[in-house]
Amino acid sequence: MSQLTFGHIDPSDLSLFTDRYELTMMEGYYESGHTQRATFSVYFRRLPADRGYALASGLEQVIAAVEAIEFDADAIAFLADQGFGDDFLSFLESFEFTGEIRALPEGTPVFPNEPLLEVTAPLPEAQLLETLVLNQVGYQTLVATKAARMADVVRRHGDGQDLVDFGSRRAHGADAGLKAARAAYVGGFDGTSNVLAGERFGLPTYGTMAHSWVQSFESERASFEAFADVCGDDAVYLIDTYDTVDGAERAVAVTDDRDVRLGGVRLDSGDLVELSKAVHEIVGDADIVVSSGVDEYFLRDFFDDDGVASAFGPGTALTTSKDAPDSGVVYKLTAVERDETFEPSMKLSPGKVTYPGRKELYRVERDGSYAHDVLGRHDESLAGEPQLETIYEDGSLVYDPPSLSSIRDRTQREVERLPERCRRVREPEPYEVRISDGLETLRRETERDIREREG
Amino acid sequence: MSQLTFGHIDPSDLSLFTDRYELTMMEGYYESGHTQRATFSVYFRRLPADRGYALASGLEQVIAAVEAIEFDADAIAFLADQGFGDDFLSFLESFEFTGEIRALPEGTPVFPNEPLLEVTAPLPEAQLLETLVLNQVGYQTLVATKAARMADVVRRHGDGQDLVDFGSRRAHGADAGLKAARAAYVGGFDGTSNVLAGERFGLPTYGTMAHSWVQSFESERASFEAFADVCGDDAVYLIDTYDTVDGAERAVAVTDDRDVRLGGVRLDSGDLVELSKAVHEIVGDADIVVSSGVDEYFLRDFFDDDGVASAFGPGTALTTSKDAPDSGVVYKLTAVERDETFEPSMKLSPGKVTYPGRKELYRVERDGSYAHDVLGRHDESLAGEPQLETIYEDGSLVYDPPSLSSIRDRTQREVERLPERCRRVREPEPYEVRISDGLETLRRETERDIREREG
């Protein structure tokens, strides 16, 4: 029998969740004594299509990973087998993060070129984190953004309906299922169908019945009777297995017969606006849960067309960020220490503007709304509220991660302060991010220096 | 300090990686004594856009999960807290899979309505597996399909170039990073940049250097010198940090100076066709690795335009299946046992045709190529080669999962037997899947019975 591998990831495995070139470079930095500090910045070059903002998420997982990272005996043995040298492996055996991390708190809207995260650490340490940081922050930020857009549509056009993540099955692997549930909550969702996400992150879990329940009985009526007998009051019946309107009438009849209270019905196919109205006439005050093809565009149209629902279960569109599955976040070296000062650094990319150096981000408020941001140098003092928080200092965690529910509150508060034009779900207009004079000058000088040096 | 949670998943946690409604239904089945066997089928309703076939992948993870599933004390305590009843929890404590699983071996092309997997087990057991099976098989099948299309383009239009997964950073979470590396190999890739995937699945790992290596030194030249000193012969230099053609000349000059052999250069931005030709003139026989925006469409055009490369590093497009991030695979009840026979079952969906009952899939070959498939009833005997293998029988694993390299060989053999028209990367034509007379009759009769019963 072959060795069976699910491919699970323990915290002690996170050190190897990295691209091989990170380790190749780490060995090179180590062997050539090139271990001075450098700053890496995590940012979007541009927002995914149709997004007027992105919502920072995933910082807690970065911290948990930094706390967990170690190269244990198994990892060292594997790397030896892969050809890494003994001296470097000894260095890895005592690896620990000694640097600084600054970051936007989760639930903060973020725009192109703004640092989600800045890591300043000896080159080998900062280099190691690239792959995992992008993997965790990029994905959660995508999902939190998608969720925040849906929650915002419900707040502005709906009637306080619940939003529950139903998308674990279509998420890309098990970690995505868990992290999507978390990020959806960060974005303003009320819970998830994923039981393990409930256990891991303390999220409310929800669930009703599937078509298989109905099909497994001799008739829809028999299946509803059995469900009423088992669940009693307030159960939610899936009514579209054979005919949605008949199903609604049957749910009412069976719960009447059995003398239990009808909690609600779920619609999972067909013309959901029209069916929701027809079903509402039948079920009265009972909940209507809508769960097929739900995303922010669907919700906008559903409310415009006067659909009736008390909860929505977005799935695939949420957990795959289907219209924008690629966050495009990057982790780029922006400064490197030489002779005890940080020298700005950048890649030259035709057609792309990149900003070198360590940074601060200021958000400027006017009349209770955000007017614009200013991206500046780390050592400038500018108007507006600085946004980056210090997470690690000299390798010590100095940040107390907030609870998920306070992050969720922050999201709502922050999104509601954004200008209406960038909260639109279709064709939002860009939020203004100004570049400080100091940073613009630094960019020009850095580019000029590179052209002189490399030309 | 708050509790920090990365959200890792141990094998013993897989039992909770399920939608809450699965557990609700399980409790209902258990409490109402409704625990007869049923068959669930995993299949695509339609293939993702531009796909002429999908490639089955992820079966090993299903098996590993079934072997690992248990409800340990922590899981039971959590479920008690969530309101599940004591009797049901006692049942879960001794949960084990006692059913049958049949499946297409990994590396088998699959088409709409064909079972990737059929689970026949007591209702509570089969119900539990839905979420995890879809999550694992759906994602790996997407990535293996994408990889197989790229590998097929390289075989047919290229020159035996290597394909290496560079996409962990953009994958949706850590599990996706690992499973994408595995599925890419199943599809025909040569390896991955992900070190942990190398360790877990025995995959070859590859990596060179990033822009940060170049930027961290005082000049590109100094960075290449340090790399040559550390790596010696056959290293690969990233040459597009400042100017790609200058970088190529510098890589040649530095390796000449240092008297080491130039392994190759990597291009990561710009007009990759034109740059690859220009760089080829400079670096001669050294490798050219191309790694920005690579997917099957890019490769097709790159070869048409006579680009020059020895290896490609697809990233985002591969690991997010960017043009088709949603597999759309479903897990549907197709039969349920009553009075010791399996009765066909289906949902009625306007506009969707679904096939009830347990099935067999026959693939018909003509002149060394696949001519068409026939989807039939499990108990029919039809022409062609039956495709489903028995994986579990009475709860026992009776299948010896093949090695990844033999799965990879199977992929190539099977894809090459498909008609040219469904191997095209753009606008492929559908492969013919015939429905047997027996199955078509069963579908009509089942639908008629449902309409009579429910109408």
Strand B162-165 with B191-192, pairing: parallel
Contact assessment for residue A333 and residue A190, using Cβ atoms and an 8 Å cutoff: no
Model confidence pLDDT, tens digit, residues A50-100? 999 999 999 999 999 999 999 999 999 999 999 999 999 999 999 999 999
Query: Which neighbouring-strand residues pair with A435?
Result: A375
Distance, in Å, from the CA atom of B247 to the CA atom of B252, rounded to the nearest integer, reads 9
Residue of A nearest to B203 (CA): A82
Tell me the C-alpha distance between B140 and B184, whole Å: 8
| Complex ipTM more than 0.90, yes or no | yes
Return the CATH fold of A11-144+324-454.
nicotinate phosphoribosyltransferase (3.20.140)
Phi and psi angles of residue B88, each rounded to the nearest 5 degrees, phi first: -65, -40
For domain A145-318, give the CATH number.
3.20.20.70
* pLDDT for position B2: 54
Are A251 and A237 a contacting pair, CB within 8 Å?
A: yes
The answer to whether B7 contacts A208, with C-beta atoms less than 8 Å apart, is: no
Non-local CB neighbours of A132 within 8 Å, separated by 6+ positions: A14, A17, A18, A62, A65, B174
Q: How many CB atoms lie within 10 A of CB B270?
A: 17
Which 3 state secondary structure label does DSSP give A94? coil
**Residues B131, B132, B135, CA angle at the centre, nearest 5°?**
85
Q: Is B208 exposed, middle or buried (0-12, 13-18, 19+ CB in 10 A)?
A: buried
For A242, which residue in chain B has the nearest alpha carbon?
B348
- Residue B275 CA to residue A96 CA, distance in Å, equals 40
Which residues is A330 bridged to in the sheet? A43
Residue A37 makes CB contacts below 8 A (sequence gap 6+) with A99, A120, A121, A122, A123, A126, A336, A337, A342
Query: Is-contact A308 A283, C-beta < 8 A?
Result: no
CB within 8 Å: A171 and B27: no
Q: What is the pLDDT of residue A340?
A: 86
Do B170 and A134 count as a contact with CB atoms less than 8 A apart? yes
Residue A56 is given by DSSP the state: -
Which residue numbers in chain A have pLDDT < 50? 1
Question: What pLDDT does A2 receive?
Answer: 54
pLDDT in tens, chain B (455 residues): 457 899 999 998 999 999 999 999 999 999 999 999 999 999 999 999 899 999 999 999 999 999 999 999 999 999 999 999 999 999 999 999 999 999 999 999 999 999 999 999 999 999 999 999 999 999 999 999 999 999 999 999 999 999 999 999 999 999 999 999 999 999 999 999 999 999 999 999 999 899 999 999 999 999 999 999 999 999 999 999 999 999 999 999 999 999 999 999 999 999 999 999 999 999 999 999 999 999 999 999 999 999 999 999 999 999 999 999 999 999 999 999 998 899 999 999 877 889 999 999 999 999 999 999 999 999 999 999 999 999 999 999 999 999 999 999 999 999 999 999 999 999 999 999 999 999 999 999 999 999 999 98
CA dist B97 and B123 (Å) reads: 11
Determine what percent of chain B is predicted with pLDDT higher than 70: 100
- Which chain B residues are within 8 Å of A40, Cβ to Cβ? 212
Cβ contact B64–A177 (<8 Å): no
Residue B350's pLDDT is what?
79
DSSP state of A383: S
**The token pair that represents A371 in the structure block:** 């007017």
B399 closest CA partner among A1, A39, A300, A196? A1
> E strands along A91-223, which residues?
100-103, 109-110, 117-122, 162-165, 191-192
Does the beta carbon of B85 lie under 8 angstroms from any beta carbon of chain A? no
A contacts of B124 (beta carbons < 8 Å):
none
CATH number of the structural domain B147-319: 3.20.20.70
Per residue in A333-388, pLDDT (tens digit) is 999 999 889 999 999 987 788 999 999 999 999 999 999 999 999 999 999 999 99
pLDDT score, position A351: 77
Tell me what pLDDT residue B455 has.
82
Nearest to B418 by CA among B138, B148, B50: B148
Asked if B348 reaches chain A (Cβ–Cβ under 8 Å), the answer is yes
pLDDT for residue A77? 98
Please determine whether the domains at B11-144+330-454 and B147-319 fall in the same fold group of CATH: no
Residue of B nearest to A41 (CA): B212
**Inter-axis angle of helices A174-187 and A123-157, to 10 degrees?**
50
Per residue in B388-410, pLDDT (tens digit) is 999 999 999 999 999 999 999 99
Find out if CATH 3.20.140.10 is the number for domain B11-144+330-454: yes
What pLDDT score was predicted for residue A353? 84
A423 touches chain B (CB under 8 A): no
Contact (Cβ atoms closer than 8 angstroms) between residue A273 and residue A304: no
Report the DSSP beta bridge partners of residue B443. none
Taking a C-beta distance cutoff of 8 angstroms, is the pair A258, A229 a contact?
A: yes
| Phi, psi (rounded to 5 degrees) for B189 | -70, 165
Backbone angles phi, psi at B216, to 5 degrees: -75, -15
Which sequence spans correspond to the domains of chain B?
Answer: 11-144+330-454, 147-319
Q: Is A164 on the interface with B (CB under 8 A)?
A: no
